[in-house]
Amino acid sequence: MTKAGKGGRRIGFVGIGRMGKPMAINVISAGFSLMVYDTNQESLREMEQLGASVARDASQLGKYSDIVIVMLLNYAQIKEVILTPQGVLNHMRKDSTIIIMSSLAPIQISEIDNIAKDKGVGVLDAPVSGGVSGAKAGTLSIMIGGDDEIFSDNRALFEAMGKNVKHVGDLGHGCAFKMINQIMVEVNFAATAEAMAMAKMLGLDLEEVFQMVSKSVGNSEVFRRCAPKIINRDFNPEGSIDIAVEDTKDILQTALALGISLPTVTAAYHGFHMAKSLGYGAEDEASLIKIYERFV
């Protein structure tokens, strides 16, 4: 078995995808002992070449790890890999920790915590913002909810993956903070696609539109990233339509539980869901503009 690395703790990482892989690379580059698990064999081979151990299944990862980081797409995947009898959590030792870095609803984090408590396992929720580029650069914003002592014990691990690392309160508050951020992000993506589509229909030069808006009050970080991708027809994913659908769905389900209406997020959700239905799910959110182009 691989020796314990930095801090004497063994780190497990579930989800070696577009976001998870660069995050895992930064963890091992920082000197932590790492075991990874995923269904993507190519990603696992790449991680093994970098010095990570590869788990044959979820139970082996659970037995190995003092800390397990989870970076999967949605709650359905997390339940399958983490919460089933042969999943990670059922094989973790007492006083170990699971860190959920996927974007979930607070109620879903509470469900994981309730199961983990019975095993004597601590839970932090630590969703991220910054996209694939931030994951590669190790500059992610990480919003952490949960026990302050567990957070402090793992600060160096978080700082291997992110630059803006902040403990934001009780368990579930990390996901709550991420939801608030994603309301602004996803609505801005929808607004950018609509604005650029209308500009195109009006016969405007899209590059000139970008230059003008980016220096006006309509500017946003999302616009600065999304508009050039639309202009250059670059729909390689930084985020993706699939993720936008999951994020907006979680936001709306939480709003329903709170008894409030979010009409702007509802409109954005329907736009992203339509784009997914048309086959653009794996593409960047900028591909939302293709919906409007179908009707020109």
Question: Mind telling me the catalytic residues?
Answer: 178
Residues 6+ apart with CB under 8 A from 218: 195
Specify whether the CB–CB gap between 96 and 122 falls below 8 A. yes
Please give the Cα distance from 106 to 112 (Å, whole number). 10
Residues 6+ apart with CB under 8 A from 149: none
Specify whether the CB–CB gap between 237 and 283 falls below 8 A. yes
Residues 6+ apart with CB under 8 A from 117: none
Phi-psi region of 225 (alpha: psi -120 to 50; beta: other; left: phi over 0): alpha
Question: For 101, which DSSP code?
Answer: -
Please give the Cα distance from 84 to 87 (Å, whole number). 5
